[in-house]
Structure 1
């Protein structure tokens, strides 16, 4: 007698697990019907934003007005019923319902009649936006406290609306009568904004320059659907939180330079008092440089020197500049040229060991690192960046990365030597992503050093330029400040180059490369759309410091069922102006790609996943019908 047992395959085990969720043929084919119907729904609207750089109010407004989409939907829905001023009032109410209601109440405009009219308008707009989603998805998006009532108001077929009008009016009257109209308006406003944008892509640089990156991250952590591609200003904070002293010194130096120290001290609880005391006791202030800036800059360049010396394969020896400083003369030799420095105040610099920290500097950095390790809020924010972020993303046929793919002058991918590996293109990005995650979990010296390299290394894909922080700190000759950019930026307007990059990441020419990082000089006629629409640069300058250079206040990219369009935003004044004057961020719209037909969920990555689920369910059906698996009666 044959005693051998037939082992179950992985497929058999998977079908058994799937049968726990779908225990009968009816439940399986019902789910197949549901999934196939979803494939035919319109593709969700994606928004792409980058380089918000701590500018919380402007970023918050872009999220609230959904890059102008709310205003567009209000105009199309109420074009012949409301004046422009009435439309603007409704938009502002949706953007900032609590603040706007308070303002309207102060003006004496809030009456029972106003509530009734406004609630019906909001319901109508929400109904219009909900038409592109399944009822299940809309229900999940509705704020819990009014889920049943809003669901009743939204889902009415056209042939029964007149018959149910009295029913809906009764609901509205009850809402007003019970004093819950304000809460209901806030819930409807939240639902409208949720339905207007299905998914948000943030293509890097949340931190630095502006003062409130922490509030931006709080907002993103509550957002319904998001991914993040790390920028160099994100990675340096991630490196600091992971344990890189060089990254932490760079973070502090950036915040000193941009006068935004409150984010460290107030938001993250990292006290700079010891650094300030050390600086004031050690450095002079007579030459116009702040002692704190002097102290943290010397610490930074010492730590950078140590990092560069540990990795000769980086070929960054030309950035070892402290050893070329003559403190007596106040000069430094760079590339054979002698330059006068802003200061000769270097009391902790030992010419024999220029990259060794003094005892005081070690003590300051040890305490700062301890404060960072114990900052729960910072660790929560950085953990979120790791969980929802990556070095790059391929999504719906598009390739998203913050800065560049390092290239040679000839336009080929540049091989980069890291730890004995020659890496280029996608493989280089995969390696960067892997080591960044290792730094967060393992804290080994190689991966921590790598975080600093991603911040400012010569061939970093997240930076794409040679940073001249030393020259910008100490030299007044601005000709030395020029930061050579990677050859990528000389080739990224070439369709053949873009086609090569798309293919490298597994996409075809129908997709687009989406970058941030480099401000678009719109005032000089530069376009964010390059290579015939194959590449889009969406850093138009949320940061106020860029506005004079760029002439605008940021770009956002919108991908909807009909194509792709770029939005150029004018500067944002303040929330007060929005409330007082209905002063929205005005945007110029450029639809640079139109699809030959309206795209559906079936045309997206989600559609591919749904088709895989359908194939699995069909196998389960076959197993039930052939008797390989028995159906299970549902337990009550």
Structure 2
């Protein structure tokens, strides 16, 4: 045996010996049954032996060492160490909440979804960027144009084409046929050097093509859905095509880098035959992607508009409010929806649309797009989305997107308590909110309204980190109370290994309970109590049944 081999074996033995007490410590609050179920099948017997034996006894120490030596001899030490680390992760995080926007700008949402699919216990509160992908799978061609345009803008078309296998060749050919490179459509790339000049030009032209297709389809949808009250967003109808100007709210603006070779000024929102065929083929390819369908199915299965959990309200965006704090309502016929009822209505329509992907222009599918950009959308939280203005109008005053009053009023404890009451939650609970990155470098506090509001979106996506100064927040909840953890940006796995630098995090106590919370006080505990009572009733009335 060489010295290098001996050193490696000694290192393996040391790490296994160090990890076992950590596994023991993190598993101590769980039942033996739960611990057993959590252990990896291939190592369950070995790990249970290592966990249960008393190491302070000399004979037992020899027994434990013999087990470890055999694992090393069979070349299974690295696998065991990895398995032990994952077991520790599982015991430390019993359940994971993801408060939306898995599909927001980042380079590999598919990898995140795969990780979550294999996670032992997770739920998701949909974000606006999640809903636009779900809408595409549900059959909305307008949602799909938004997805493709955003991916082109941030250099992420590889997600659609390479990871999910969607055929974008027809879109590339169409874009190169009709569009030339324009400055306003230069893609926003994290790493300029990773794209060739031709690839950048490709993203530029695809972005232009999908933008115009998006605006055409928006005009059509808004016309057939007058109940959305969005006539002012039929942008192509307000353009003077001879002068290349647009009139908005009584003012005339010149259009910059505006190119629309396929628009008929007499009917601006009409698609050409070529465009109809292109969109049909793109939507078919998108919906027929097996890995994408698998991920969207999981997003539907584990996702919801909001979640009531352990006395807290988890949601991504907002509860639409008027300036005076009253709930803002969405009117449909003679019915008005607001607060919890509004979010319940939205979720009902989302699930209906997703279950009928063959229909692309029904109310439910159109509503999914409204959730992306509509004034009463709890996921969007603004009056309007100024995509057209940001692309084509130089006057930055037109780029402003007015936020819903919720984002000002959520600083008030009384408002938060009213929202909690509407969701049948205790007023000493918390609203756990995502969506708007917390600008920590400007001194913004993620803890608002005397602790009733906790905003945990700090910007995991690199594109947000310049705005926030952080790489996101994680909220920890255990029997002792609540802690908010602020994360510093993570550069790479390679740097973490070579320089022994992990993600640096700062913990901040939000709330400490006087008496530790018991399992019986949690959602899971209450469900177990109900099951116990049902079994007791069945037992007492066995003869009757």
TM-score by length of structure 2 reads 0.92
Alpha-carbon distance in structure 1 between the residues aligned to 2:337 and 2:182: 48
| 2:497 pairs with 1:563 | no
Alpha-carbon distance in structure 2 between the residues aligned to 1:531 and 1:589: 20
Alpha-carbon distance in structure 2 between the residues aligned to 1:522 and 1:109: 49
TM-superposition CA deviations, 1:55-84 (whole Å, max 9, x none): xxxxxxxxxxxxxxxxxxxxxxxxxxxxxx
1:246-285 alignment to 2 at 5 Å? 246-285=142-181
Match of 2:67 among 149, 171, 179: 171
Give 1:117's aligned residue. 14
| 2:336 pairs with 1:336 | no
Give 2:368's aligned residue. 451
Contact preservation (8 Å) 2:184, 2:392: no
Give 1:219's aligned residue. 115
TM-superposition CA deviations, 1:248-301 (whole Å, max 9, x none): 011111111111110010011112221121122122336664332221111001
- TM-superposed CA distance for 1:615, in Å, is 1.8
- TM-superposed CA distance for 1:623, in Å, is 3.9
Change (3 A) 1:294 1:581: same
Structure 2 residue runs of 5 or longer lacking an equivalent are 186-203
Contact preservation (8 Å) 2:24, 2:51: yes
Alpha-carbon distance in structure 1 between the residues aligned to 2:335 and 2:325: 21
Contact preservation (8 Å) 1:280, 1:291: yes
Match of 1:550 among 453, 459, 468: 468
Alpha-carbon distance in structure 2 between the residues aligned to 1:422 and 1:628: 46
Give 1:128's aligned residue. 25
Q: Alignment partner of 1:610: what SS?
A: helix
Structure 1 residue runs of 5 or longer lacking an equivalent are 1-104, 630-636
Alpha-carbon distance in structure 2 between the residues aligned to 1:188 and 1:246: 46
- TM-superposed CA distance for 1:163, in Å, is 5.9
- TM-superposed CA distance for 1:329, in Å, is 2.1
Contact preservation (8 Å) 1:232, 1:454: yes
Q: Alignment partner of 1:455: what SS?
A: helix
1:428-443 alignment to 2 at 5 Å? 428-443=342-357
1:285-324 alignment to 2 at 5 Å? 285=181, 289=185, 290-324=204-238
Alpha-carbon distance in structure 1 between the residues aligned to 2:488 and 2:5: 32
- TM-superposed CA distance for 1:106, in Å, is 13
Range with greater deviation from structure 2 (323-332 or 525-534)? 323-332
Contact preservation (8 Å) 1:328, 1:344: no
Larger Rg: 1
Contact preservation (8 Å) 1:276, 1:292: yes
Contact preservation (8 Å) 2:54, 2:60: no
Across the aligned residues of Structure 1 and Structure 2, the Cα RMSD in angstroms comes to 1.9
How many residues of Structure 1 are paired with residues of Structure 2 in the alignment?
522
Alpha-carbon distance in structure 2 between the residues aligned to 1:496 and 1:569: 30
| 2:493 pairs with 1:575 | yes
TM-superposition CA deviations, 1:539-563 (whole Å, max 9, x none): 1011111112111111111111111
Alpha-carbon distance in structure 2 between the residues aligned to 1:115 and 1:313: 66
Contact preservation (8 Å) 2:353, 2:364: yes
Q: Alignment partner of 1:111: what SS?
A: helix
Give 1:529's aligned residue. 447
Alpha-carbon distance in structure 2 between the residues aligned to 1:599 and 1:319: 50
Change (3 A) 1:547 1:292: same
- TM-superposed CA distance for 1:155, in Å, is 2.7
Alpha-carbon distance in structure 1 between the residues aligned to 2:437 and 2:349: 28
Alpha-carbon distance in structure 1 between the residues aligned to 2:64 and 2:125: 44
TM-score by length of structure 1 reads 0.79
Contact preservation (8 Å) 1:208, 1:255: no
Alpha-carbon distance in structure 1 between the residues aligned to 2:182 and 2:365: 36
TM-superposition CA deviations, 1:336-361 (whole Å, max 9, x none): 11112222421111222111111221
Contact preservation (8 Å) 1:404, 1:462: yes
Alpha-carbon distance in structure 2 between the residues aligned to 1:162 and 1:313: 78
